[in-house]
Chain A
Amino acid sequence: MARFLLMRLVQSVFTLFLVLAVVFVIARVAGDPVTLLVTFDASQADIDRLREELGLSDPLPQQFVRFMGDALRGDFGTSFRTNRPAMNEVLERVPASARLAGLSLAFSLAISLPLGVLAAVSRGSVVDLFARFLALVGQAAPNFWLGLMLIFFFAVRLGWLPTGGRGGLDHMVLPAIALGTAGAASITRLTRSALLDVLNSDFVVMARAKGLPRRTVIFKHALRNALIPVVTILGLRIGTVISGSVIVETIFAWPGVGRLIIQAINVSDFPVVQAAVTLTASAVILANLLTDIAYMLVDPRIRYVRS
């Protein structure tokens, strides 16, 4: 187990290094950020002075070493737009994004687990068909479209919820549904198929033969085993939620990391883009690592094998 953990940790660090390298390269090949910081008629002396101040006149390898060193300390420079530390800009948005991501995952699970179980235990019934239809629609509907439709019906037409913006739980309901629907759909399908597999396995047949109540067989024996792939997909959903939040946060004017990234890209605020991408990539890598660990804990047969 220790060897497995160690290898996964090394892989995670290497992945993060690659992410940082890519972020560094992309920020440099996209042009000279100094041209965005000065007026059109700025003198060359002004441009050179600013480039010197920002450390952009050094050779690229030197910039890369400095960038990596600073990145390890969480220092991604100062936002071109706000003149504040870039990482602070990102960290300030994390709670909002985390709340939205948490609520959307909770929504996904609250919908998908009961629906998946119901569909599996009543295979071929109207309930099953309904669940499969919902899952299909949920996976097919783009979240930006779904978000706009939710705004139209629940905010404009019915006036039940606000159209967006920062606020209490009522402000989070619609974006959480828009963000969590695709996840709910995929987890429903996965829960259904995994549970169907388990329900046909020998140990479930044995449990039934022993005369255990149906509820005990399903929830105590079958569902626990069926949840192993669901745990995996939940980990992967973290990445999907983060990428999806870029769009959903923009539509619902939710001031999270996703919206900050869009805003920073629009004005070529590369220190903030670098900090945000690094942070979100780290979150995804960490989520994957934790998923692997959870997977291993749930199923002790899983071990690291050198290919």
Chain B
Amino acid sequence: MSENYWSKFGHDRLSRRQALRAAGVTGVGLAGAALIGCGSSDEDAAPAVTQATAAAGSTTAAAPAPVSQLTDATLTSAIASDIGSGDPQSLGGTGGGNWPNTSTHFGGSGLVSTDQETRKIIPNVATSWEEAPDHLSIVFKLRDNAYFHNGDQLTAEDVKFSMDRGALGQAEYNLEYKGGHSSQYSAIVDHAEVIDDSTVKFVLKKPDVIFLNRGLFLVPKKHIESVGDVAYAEHPVGGGVFQFVSRIPDSEIVSERFDRFHADFGDPTGYHPSYIKKLVQKVIPDNQARFAALQAGEVDLIDKISPDIAGQLAKDDKFKVFNLPGTQPMHIHINTALENDPESGKPNPWRDKRVRMAANLAVDLDGIINNILTGAEALSFGSASSSVGFPKDLPSKRWAYDVEAAKKLMAEAGYADGFDAVLNLPVGRWPNSRQVSEVIAQSLTEIGIRTRIQELQYQEVTTRFKDDSLYPLSFWGMAGGDDPGANFRYGYHSAGNYTMSVPDPEVDALIEKSELEFDKAARAELLGQIMTKFYLDAQWIFLYEPVQQVATTNKWDWTFWAKTLGDPEYWNIKPAKA
């Protein structure tokens, strides 16, 4: 593991005893925490790193605390990026921003939520819902005690407005609003109707088996109509766990606990008012500078740190490091849509399954995970291992690293002499993607696929995905999540926006069937079949599920609630007991 700027000068600050103590303190302080190695050069000093997977297994340990445990503490964090907009519905599909702030914090809860253990859909703002037998409409009954930060009660009018504004472009005032997260609804929802103050009905254009899994951000109708889109985005009002106080663009976001978040909602989701009273988030984009701010005592928590910094912090008993299992499995996308190589005009070798299998066998994923990444990443099988329908036996069928077998397959496919390939890499999109891509390019070259890396702007990659011109390989991440149905439609189905594969009638048929299958068990079975077939057909080079590393000072305790985490659960962090 490479050293960073600080560690080169800071060795005198850490004794072996201190490092050992660090492992012990963190291990005891966090229930179920697992200690893992980070490739440290000091073999006696086991780095103290907490993984979400271990903690999340014990829901009781992470259960919401009673209100009496709430504190007046202020937590100051250093985050890598500012929010783009405070309006949760204005988030572009991939246009940046800071999701926990805009969605969980300011935006608030959705109509339904997901049980972290069973992954079942459970009530949230909606206490119940009923689908029509033809699945063309769904009626939600809302809580009578759900509130926005400004004190307005959340009613059916707000839900209808949220759908009209964010998805359908039917809100009458619609001043400035463009695009946004909920645009996925426009092909599905015909319109929304208010039945009464606490009942709302969505009329669909077609049955949508994953309707409940789609996230609709609920926004306050009266408030937005009163202040307008621009002012709303600058001073968001939602129903989230923190209420917005102030923001200096690119510098600081201040928010405070929303006391009515959990107390009125009951406990259907595990959400509760945050332990801390106030959250100050300082925007520090540079990884090393965030590290320095933590060391200097200016902040209590830093996010998105590199593995080398995490390794150093884990050895210091003044800090704790947390591994957050991500929700975006990474892979190398293979273009099999094109019949011929656009440069040489020769037949596209990637259409041969043996070539794709060889490419998967050629990559030493364990080596990448342990030497370049944090060591805590799980293997990717196309969809996240926490997804509905994930076949438990699929990991046993993994493409295990075997260069000789890969070379043999290349020879069988008629490519003993190899061929040239380009690995397209979106610049700076994913942490460590450059280093990982270099290893993959070398690995492929070793079996005869002479690969060079071509860096591209993310925008160019997304554009070329849509016309299948990105050839032949592309480093890519696809959102995971609870239900992979939407991902399969746009990433696996031959008609998807991000497929670039030669149509596979069997996979297409399975996806289409799963989209009409409302029986949960039967659908899970279909999803499992899709995952298995896609993986065993080696449609992509499957990589890993990324892990984000976060560090705090030892003055804070945090036992994860969620199984997968994109960002820190600020609401769930509390001052450590003396």
Chain A residues within 8 Å of B, Cβ to Cβ: 30-33, 35-43, 45-46, 50, 53, 78-84, 92-93, 148-149, 151-152, 155-157, 159, 162-166, 250-253, 255, 259-260, 262-263, 266-269
User: Lowest 10 CB-CB distances: which A-B pairs, in order?
Assistant: A267-B96, A31-B463, A81-B84, A31-B460, A35-B462, A255-B250, A31-B459, A268-B459, A39-B93, A32-B463
In the complex, which residues 361-386 of chain B have their Cβ closer than 8 Å to any Cβ of chain A? Answer: none
In this complex, what residue of A is CB-closest to B184?
A39
Least CB distance from A203 to B in Å reads 51
Considering the chains assembled together, what is the distance between the CA atoms of A150 and B95 in angstroms? 33
Given the known interface contacts A83-B229, A156-B6, A164-B293, the answer about A53 and B457 at a Cβ–Cβ threshold of 8 Å is no
Q: Can you give 26 A-B contacts (C-beta < 8 A)? A: A31-B462, A31-B464, A36-B94, A36-B462, A40-B498, A42-B184, A46-B186, A78-B178, A81-B84, A81-B92, A83-B87, A93-B250, A148-B288, A152-B6, A159-B296, A163-B289, A165-B251, A166-B248, A166-B252, A250-B286, A252-B289, A253-B286, A259-B250, A263-B250, A263-B285, A269-B95
Considering the chains assembled together, what is the distance between the CA atoms of A46 and B176 in angstroms? 16
Contact A152 B292, beta carbon cutoff 8 Å: yes
Contact A253 B284, beta carbon cutoff 8 Å: yes
B416 proximal to A (CB < 8 A): no
B173 proximal to A (CB < 8 A): no
The size bracket of the interface on B is 35 or more
Q: In the complex, what residues of B have CB within 8 A of residue A36's CB?
A: 92-95, 458-459, 462
Provide the B448-462 mask, 1 if CB < 8 A to any CB of A, else 0: 000000000111111
Provide the B93-130 mask, 1 if CB < 8 A to any CB of A, else 0: 11111000000000000000000000000000000000
In the complex, which residues 60-86 of chain B have their Cβ closer than 8 Å to any Cβ of chain A? Answer: 81-82, 84-85
In the complex, which residues 452-509 of chain B have their Cβ closer than 8 Å to any Cβ of chain A? Answer: 457-466, 479, 486, 489-491, 496-498
Least CB distance from B441 to A in Å reads 23
Given the known interface contacts A253-B285, A253-B286, the answer about A37 and B292 at a Cβ–Cβ threshold of 8 Å is no
In this complex, what residue of A is CB-closest to B186?
A46
In this complex, what residue of B is CB-closest to A38?
B93
Considering the chains assembled together, what is the distance between the CA atoms of A80 and B459 in angstroms? 12
Most B CB atoms within 10 A — which of A39, A45, A151, A269? A39
Chain B residues within 8 Å of A, Cβ to Cβ: 5-6, 9, 81-82, 84-85, 87, 90, 92-97, 176-179, 181, 183-184, 186-187, 229-230, 233, 248-252, 282-286, 288-289, 292-293, 295-296, 298, 428, 457-466, 479, 486, 489-491, 496-498
Q: In the complex, what residues of A have CB within 8 A of residue B96's CB?
A: 81, 263, 266-267, 269
In this complex, what residue of A is CB-closest to B462?
A35
Considering the chains assembled together, what is the distance between the CA atoms of A165 and B290 in angstroms? 11
Contact A83 B459, beta carbon cutoff 8 Å: no
Least CB distance from B171 to A in Å reads 15
Considering the chains assembled together, what is the distance between the CA atoms of A238 and B251 in angstroms? 25
Contact B497 A41, beta carbon cutoff 8 Å: yes
In this complex, what residue of A is CB-closest to B285?
A250
Considering the chains assembled together, what is the distance between the CA atoms of A80 and B87 in angstroms? 13
Q: In the complex, what residues of B have CB within 8 A of residue A251's CB?
A: 286, 288-289
Given the known interface contacts A83-B176, A156-B295, the answer about A263 and B81 at a Cβ–Cβ threshold of 8 Å is yes
Least CB distance from B178 to A in Å reads 6
User: Beyond A32-B459, A151-B289: 13 further Cβ-contacts under 8 Å?
Assistant: A38-B92, A42-B93, A42-B183, A42-B186, A78-B178, A81-B85, A83-B85, A83-B87, A148-B288, A155-B292, A156-B292, A250-B285, A253-B285
Considering the chains assembled together, what is the distance between the CA atoms of A87 and B271 in angstroms? 40
Contact A268 B457, beta carbon cutoff 8 Å: yes
Contact A149 B5, beta carbon cutoff 8 Å: yes
Considering the chains assembled together, what is the distance between the CA atoms of A226 and B105 in angstroms? 60
Contact A81 B497, beta carbon cutoff 8 Å: no
In this complex, what residue of A is CB-closest to B229?
A83
Query: B92 touches which one: A37, A163, A250 (CB < 8 A)?
Result: A37
Contact A37 B179, beta carbon cutoff 8 Å: yes
Contact B179 A50, beta carbon cutoff 8 Å: yes
Query: A37 touches which one: B93, B250, B288 (CB < 8 A)?
Result: B93
Q: In the complex, what residues of B have CB within 8 A of residue A43's CB?
A: 186-187
Most B CB atoms within 10 A — which of A40, A84, A250, A266? A40
In this complex, what residue of A is CB-closest to B457?
A30
In this complex, what residue of B is CB-closest to A264?
B96
Contact B5 A152, beta carbon cutoff 8 Å: yes
Considering the chains assembled together, what is the distance between the CA atoms of A252 and B87 in angstroms? 28
Considering the chains assembled together, what is the distance between the CA atoms of A250 and B286 in angstroms? 6
In this complex, what residue of B is CB-closest to A256?
B250
Least CB distance from A88 to B in Å reads 11
Contact B285 A35, beta carbon cutoff 8 Å: no
Least CB distance from B235 to A in Å reads 13
Least CB distance from A100 to B in Å reads 14
In this complex, what residue of A is CB-closest to B251?
A166
Query: B93 touches which one: A32, A40, A45 (CB < 8 A)?
Result: A40
Considering the chains assembled together, what is the distance between the CA atoms of A40 and B284 in angstroms? 29
